Chain A
Amino acid sequence: DSGVTQTPKHLITATGQRVTLRCSPRSGDLSVYWYQQSLDQGLQFLIQYYNGEERAKGNILERFSAQQFPDLHSELNLSSLELGDSALYFCASSGTGGATNEKLFFGSGTQLSVL
């Protein structure tokens, strides 16, 4: 158990809809990262938050947004969903410094299926 909690584990929705994925980092971790894993794209970095502020941005679509709340949990919002958004979405957290050499602890992921 990594200590990172993601909910829900599975999500099935229709095209055009909006969903919210939730992540609770390990106790004490200030950094939260979101990744998308799909068969064709592999594991893609989406975005990182550190103590409530956006720290780094990757290949995140404009239809997607994220935030980190004062209690350090994070939400990834996906809107106007398309079939191609079907993927496994991982959240990861790291220690207090948010430095690039820190170990990431990954949650078990949310499997999103867009039908």
Chain B
Amino acid sequence: AQSVTQLDSQVPVFEEAPVELRCNYSSSVSVYLFWYVQYPNQGLQLLLKYLSGSTLVKGINGFEAEFNKSQTSFHLRKPSVHISDTAEYFCAVSDIEGGKLIFGQGTELSVKP
């Protein structure tokens, strides 16, 4: 079975500062990895996903994530955040056979002016 751990429940950061949201996963099989964002009072939207190939994945809104197999991590980064990036971010994993998407507990990113 897979599991996902998001290491920070809340990340406060000032506008235009860089940010990293950390995600570690565990699985005995090959996986696909995802980051979703949930803006207040909305459903989740896909930010980016890693399926195979290059370990650096670029997503929407200037976010990127790096897959590190040896450290079983998939951290999300943005070099300069905006107030509008304030949201909850979910890391998720699915195995390549099973069909279930397992989410982490979420990280609340709060961008302050």
Contacts and interface: CB of A to CB of B under 8 A. Distances in A.
A107 B103 contact: no
B32 interface: yes
B45 A45 contact: no
Contacts of B32: 100-101
B51 A2 contact: no
A42 B51 contact: no
Contact of B96 (A44, A58, A100, A108): A100
A91 B66 CA distance: 28
Interface in A16-42: 33, 35, 42
Interface in A85-115: 90, 92, 98-101, 103-104, 106-109
B43 A100 contact: no
A101 B101 contact: no
A35 B90 CA distance: 13
Interface residues of B, number: 24
A56 B105 contact: no
B51 A101 contact: yes
B25 to A, nearest CB: 14
Contacts of A108: 41-43
A33 B101 contact: yes
Interface in B34-93: 36, 41-46, 49, 51, 90
Q: What class of interface size applies to chain A in its complex with B? A: 20 to 34
B100 to A, nearest CB: 5
A43 interface: yes
Contacts of B104: 42
A42 B43 contact: no
Given A43-B90, A56-B98, A104 B103 contact: no
A100 to B, nearest CB: 4
Nearest to B104: A42
A103 B49 contact: yes
A4 interface: yes
B106 A42 contact: yes
12 contacts: A33-B101, A42-B103, A43-B105, A45-B101, A48-B100, A58-B100, A98-B99, A100-B96, A100-B98, A101-B32, A101-B94, A103-B49
